[in-house]
Structure 1
C-alpha cells in the first residue's frame, strides 16, 4: 500500500473546519445566509474546478487544496489537505498556533443594511488558513497529520 505523498515526500497535513458561519455577523458587518454558496459550489463541481487553499489570502502562497466542501446547517464546512508540508503555515497549523479560516469571494447577490450587508449569493474563489478571520467562529476544528504515523 502506498501513501499519498507531497512533493517533499511527506503525507499531507489534513484538517476540517468551517470557512463561513451562517447567520452570524462578521467583523466587517457581513452576514452570510444559508444557500449563499450553493450555485458557486454546483458550478465548480460541474466544471471540475478545485478550490485552492491559500495562506493568508496570498495567491502566490497556495499551500494545498480543498478536498471536500459543502453547506450544512452551521455554515460552509471544508476538509482540506496542506500539501506544502514544510511551510510555516503547515507548522503553525500542526502546532495549533493558527486555526482561523476565511474565503475569497465575489458578491453576486446581497442586500445593504444600515449596519452591514446580508449576503445571499457568493462566488467562492479560494479558502485560506488565516491568523485572524473576519468571522471569529470560522475555525479549524480537527487536524490530522498522516505523516506523523509514517515518520
Structure 2
C-alpha cells in the first residue's frame, strides 16, 4: 500500500498520514469469553485515563506478540457496548502488509486484549473483571471473546491500496 507521508519541519520526523483503517470492538461488556470472564462497564476507564495523562497509548500487536507491532490505535474508547477501537495497520511494516491483506480478505477478523487484572470478583465459571490495566489490543486468528471482531474500512481507495501492497510484496 502506498502511504501518504509528509516531512515534519519540527524535528524532521516522518509522519504516517494514512494506513489500512480498521475498527471494531476489542471487548464487549457483560458478555462471557470462552474462559467465563465477563468485563464490567467502566473496567477500562482508569487505565485509559492514566494512559492519556501519561502520553501513553494502547499498542496494536499481531497475535499478542510484543516483538510484532503492526500499527497504531488512534481511538480506544469505552462506549455503552464495550471497548471500541479504531486504528491504522501500518503497511510499511512487512507484518502490517500481511495483516492488512488478511483482514481485507476476511481471513483474520479477531481482536483480543492484553491486560493485567486490577480488580475482579469470582462470578460463575469465571470472573467479573471490574478494573483492567489495558496494555494492547491484538489482531488474532481466534479471539477469546467470540464477538470481538474488526472490519476493514470498506472503500474503493482502500481496496486499491491493498492490491498495490500485494503487487509490491510480489516484487520484493
Are 1:27 and 2:34 an aligned pair? Answer: yes
Q: SS of the counterpart of 1:20?
A: strand
Moved over 6 A (4+): none
Query: Which of 1 and 2 has greater Rg?
Result: 2
More helix by share: 2
Q: TM-score, normalised by structure 2?
A: 0.78
Q: TM-score, normalised by structure 1?
A: 0.88
Q: How many corresponding residue pairs?
A: 148
Q: SS of the counterpart of 2:91?
A: coil
Unaligned runs of 5+ in 1: none
Contact 2:31 2:39 in 1 (8 A): yes
Structure 1 residue 4: deviation in Å?
A: 4.4
Structure 1 residue 127: deviation in Å?
A: 0.5
Are 1:51 and 2:58 an aligned pair? Answer: yes
Structure 1 residue 101: deviation in Å?
A: 0.4
Which residue does the alignment assign to 2:83?
A: 76
Give distance in 1, aligned partners of 2:68 and 2:58. 14
Which residue does the alignment assign to 1:103?
A: 113
Contact 1:4 1:12 in 2 (8 A): no
Which residue does the alignment assign to 1:41?
A: 48
More strand by share: 1
Give distance in 1, aligned partners of 2:68 and 2:57. 16
Q: SS of the counterpart of 2:130?
A: strand
